[in-house]
C-alpha cells in the first residue's frame, strides 16, 4: 500500500470522525434544549408550594406515611453528627433514622455513640438483603427514633440494604451521610405519595451544592456560593441536571436516575427486587433502571416522580483528584448498568423506557463523551487538512460553547424565576460566569475523567475511588 493511499484514507477518516462528532454533539444539545423547554412548561403550569400547603400538612399530617431515613456512612466522622442532627430535626409527623456504619476505619461509629448516647439494642432485622455481617445494633437514649447499625464494610449498596432490612415503615428514604436535608424537605418529597393511588414507587428531589453555605448544628442557616471555581462549575451542572433534565424526564414518566444523595422509595418494591445491587459502583442508577424493568415486565402501572424544589444540600468535591474519582465512578457505573440491562435498549417491550430513555443514556454516557472529546482534536485536524468547511467548525464551537452556555443561562434564569434560591444578584453573575468559563478546561477535563471511567470498566477495576471531604462548617 503506497503512502499516498494511506494519506488519503487517513484524511477521509479524520473527515468522517469530525462529522460524526458534530452530529453527536448536535443531538445531545437538541435533547438538552427540549428538556429545558419541557421543564419551563412544567414550572409555568404546576401548582407552586405555598404557606397554605404547609398548613394542610400540619392539619392533616396523620395522612403522611411513616418514613425510615437510611444513612449509609463510611469514614464520615467530620460531618456525621451534624448530618444526623439535621435529619432528626426534620418537620415530619413520624420518621425514624437508621444510620449504617459501613465498617469505617475512622471514628464514625464512636462519634455516633458519643454524640447521641447510644446503647446496645436487641432490635432484629426483618429482611436480610446485605452480604456482610452485622456487628452491632444501637439505640439512642436521647432520640428514641434513632437506630445505629454497625456492620462490616460492603460499600454503600450493602449498607443501604442493611438499613432497608431494619426499616419497619412503608417508605424508606436513602441519603448520603454528607448531605443536609432542608427542614421541610421530607414533607415535600413525600407529598407525591400522599396524593397517590398506589402507583408512585419512588420520588427524587432536587440537590444543590452546599459548598459556600453556612451550616450550623446540622442545619442550613444561610445559602452562599463558594469562592472557589470548582464548586461553582458543579453548581451549574447540578442546575442543568435537576431543574431541566430530571423535571422533563419525570414529566414524561421516564426518569432514569434518582440521586444517591436523596431518594424515597416504597419499601415493598425494594424488597421485591432484592434491594440495591452489590457489584456496581453506580447503585442509584442501576436501582431505578431495575425498577423500570421489573414493573414493566410485571405489566404493572407505576410512576417515578421528582420534586423540583430543593430538598437536599450536598458537599461537592473541592479538588480535581476528588472530582476525577467521582466522575470516573459515575461513568463506570453507567456503563455497567447499560451492559447489565442491555436487553432493554430499543426493546418495544419496555415502552418509552426501552425505545427512548435507555438509548438516550447510551448517547449521553457512552457515545457522547468520547465523541465530543475526539471532536476537539479531529475538527481542527480536518480544517488543517482542508476536508471540512470552516462553517462546520464554527458550528461545533457554537453548539459546544455558545449554545451550551445559553442552555446553562436559561436554566439559571428558570431557577431564579421559579425558586429564587440564589442569594444575590452578584451570586447570579458569578454562577452565570461559571456557566461560560466551564467550557474552557472544566468541560474537557470532565470528558477525560469520564473516559477514564470507561477504562476502569474494561480493566474490571471495581475498587472504590474515594472523594475527599472537608466536612460542614460555618466557613465552607
Could you state, in order of their start, the residue ranges of all structural domains in the chain?
Answer: 7-44+199-476
Q: What percent of the chain has pLDDT over 90?
A: 44
How many angstroms separate the CA atoms of 385 and 429, rounded? Answer: 40
Integer distance in angstroms from the first to the last C-alpha of the chain?
A: 62
pLDDT category of residue 26 using cuts at 50, 70 and 90: confident
The confidence band for 475, taking pLDDT boundaries of 50, 70 and 90, is: very low
Joined together, the cell numbers standing for residue 462 give 471495581
Of 94-108, 195-209, 368-382, 453-467, highest mean pLDDT:
94-108
Residue 6 pLDDT > 90? no
Asked if the model's pLDDT at residue 298 lies above 60, the reply is yes
- The pLDDT value given to residue 341: 95
- Evaluate if residue 392 carries a pLDDT over 80: no
Span 114-137, average pLDDT: 92
If one counts every other C-beta atom within 10 angstroms of the C-beta of residue 33, the result is: 15
Q: How many percent of the chain have pLDDT more than 70?
A: 92
Region 357-383 average pLDDT: 85
pLDDT of residue 474: 41
- Binning pLDDT at 50, 70 and 90, where does residue 219 land? confident
Instruction: Report residue 22 CA to chain centroid gap.
Output: 28
Whether residue 473 has pLDDT greater than 60: no
CB hemisphere CA count around 140 (13 angstroms)? 23
| pLDDT score at 49 | 61
Candidates 143, 215, 219; CA nearest to 183 is 219
> Please, which pLDDT band fits residue 476 given cuts at 50, 70 and 90?
very low
Which is more confidently placed, 249 or 8? 249
Does residue 12 register a pLDDT over 80?
no
Q: What's the predicted TM-score (pTM) here?
A: 0.89
Q: What is the pLDDT of residue 57?
A: 63
Q: Which residues contact 414 (CB under 8 A, 6 or more apart)?
A: 36, 39, 40, 43, 243, 244
Cell numbers for 17, please give them. Answer: 470522525
**Residue 306 predicted with pLDDT over 80:** yes
Q: Does residue 56 have a pLDDT over 60? A: no
For the segment 148-196, what is each residue's pLDDT rounded down to a tens digit? 999 999 988 999 999 999 999 999 999 987 788 888 888 888 888 887 7
- Residue labelled with grid coordinates 398506589: 198
Provide the pLDDT for residue 267.
Answer: 95
More confident residue, 6 or 206: 206
- 326's CB contacts (< 8 A; 6+ apart) are 317, 465, 467
Between vectors from CA 257 to CA 256 and to CA 259, what angle results, nearest 5°?
170
Flag whether pLDDT at 307 surpasses 60.
yes
Provide the pLDDT for residue 470: 67
pLDDT of residue 75: 87
Residue pointed to by grid coordinates 471532536: 375
Confidence check: pLDDT of 351 > 90: yes
Contact indicator for 330, 369 with CB cutoff of 8 Å: no
Cβ atoms of residues 34 and 409 within 8 Å:
no
Q: pLDDT band at residue 71, thresholds of 50, 70 and 90? A: very high
CA 307 to CA 74: how far, in whole Å?
28
Residues forming a β-bridge with 227 = none
Amino acid at each position: 500500500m503506497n503512502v499516498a493511499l494511506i494519506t488519503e484514507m487517513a484524511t477521509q477518516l479524520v473527515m468522517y470522525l469530525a462529522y460524526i462528532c458534530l452530529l453527536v454533539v448536535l443531538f445531545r444539545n437538541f435533547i438538552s434544549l427540549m428538556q429545558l423547554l419541557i421543564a419551563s412548561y412544567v414550572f409555568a403550569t404546576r401548582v407552586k408550594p405555598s404557606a397554605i400547603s404547609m398548613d394542610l400538612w400540619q392539619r392533616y399530617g396523620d395522612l403522611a406515611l411513616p418514613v425510615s431515613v437510611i444513612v449509609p456512612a463510611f469514614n464520615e466522622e467530620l460531618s456525621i453528627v451534624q448530618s444526623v442532627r439535621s435529619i432528626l430535626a426534620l418537620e415530619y409527623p413520624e420518621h425514624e433514622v437508621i444510620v449504617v456504619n459501613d465498617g469505617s476505619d475512622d471514628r464514625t461509629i464512636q462519634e455516633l455513640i458519643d454524640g447521641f448516647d447510644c446503647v446496645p439494642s436487641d432490635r432484629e432485622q426483618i429482611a436480610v438483603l446485605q452480604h456482610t455481617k452485622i456487628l452491632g445494633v444501637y439505640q439512642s437514649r436521647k432520640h428514641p427514633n434513632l437506630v445505629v447499625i454497625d456492620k462490616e464494610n460492603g460499600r454503600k449498596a450493602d449498607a443501604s440494604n442493611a438499613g432497608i432490612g431494619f426499616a419497619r415503615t412503608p417508605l424508606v428514604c436513602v441519603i448520603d451521610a454528607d448531605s443536609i436535608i432542608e427542614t421541610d424537605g421530607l414533607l415535600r418529597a413525600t407529598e407525591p405519595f400522599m396524593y397517590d393511588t398506589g402507583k408512585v414507587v419512588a420520588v427524587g428531589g432536587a440537590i444543590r451544592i452546599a459548598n459556600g453555605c453556612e451550616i450550623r448544628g446540622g442545619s442550613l442557616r444561610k445559602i452562599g456560593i463558594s469562592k472557589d471555581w470548582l464548586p461553582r462549575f458543579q453548581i451549574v451542572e447540578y442546575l442543568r441536571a435537576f431543574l431541566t433534565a430530571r423535571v422533563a424526564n419525570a414529566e414524561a414518566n421516564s426518569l432514569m436516575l434518582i440521586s444517591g444523595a436523596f431518594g424515597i422509595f416504597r419499601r415493598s418494591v425494594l424488597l421485591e427486587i432484592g434491594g440495591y445491587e452489590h457489584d456496581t459502583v453506580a447503585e442509584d442508577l442501576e436501582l431505578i433502571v431495575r425498577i423500570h424493568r421489573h414493573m414493566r415486565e410485571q405489566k404493572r402501572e407505576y410512576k417515578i416522580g421528582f420534586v423540583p424544589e430543593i430538598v437536599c444540600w450536598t458537599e461537592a468535591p473541592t479538588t480535581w483528584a476528588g472530582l476525577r474519582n467521582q466522575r470516573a465512578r459515575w461513568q463506570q457505573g453507567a456503563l455497567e448498568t447499560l451492559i447489565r440491562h442491555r436487553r432493554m435498549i430499543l426493546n418495544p417491550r419496555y415502552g418509552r423506557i426501552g425505545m427512548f430513555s435507555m438509548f438516550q443514556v447510551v448517547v449521553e454516557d457512552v457515545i457522547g463523551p468520547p465523541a465530543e472529546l475526539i471532536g476537539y482534536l479531529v475538527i481542527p485536524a480536518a480544517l488543517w487538512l482542508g476536508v471540512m468547511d470552516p462553517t462546520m467548525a464554527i458550528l461545533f464551537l457554537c453548539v459546544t460553547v455558545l449554545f451550551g452556555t445559553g442552555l446553562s443561562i436559561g436554566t439559571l434564569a428558570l431557577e431564579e424565576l421559579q425558586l429564587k434560591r440564589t442569594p444575590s444578584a452578584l451570586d447570579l453573575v458569578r454562577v452565570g460566569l461559571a456557566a461560560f468559563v466551564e467550557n474552557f478546561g472544566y468541560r474537557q477535563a470532565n470528558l477525560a475523567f469520564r473516559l477514564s471511567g470507561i477504562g476502569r470498566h474494561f480493566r474490571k477495576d471495581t475498587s472504590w475511588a474515594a472523594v475527599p471531604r472537608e466536612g460542614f462548617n460555618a466557613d465552607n
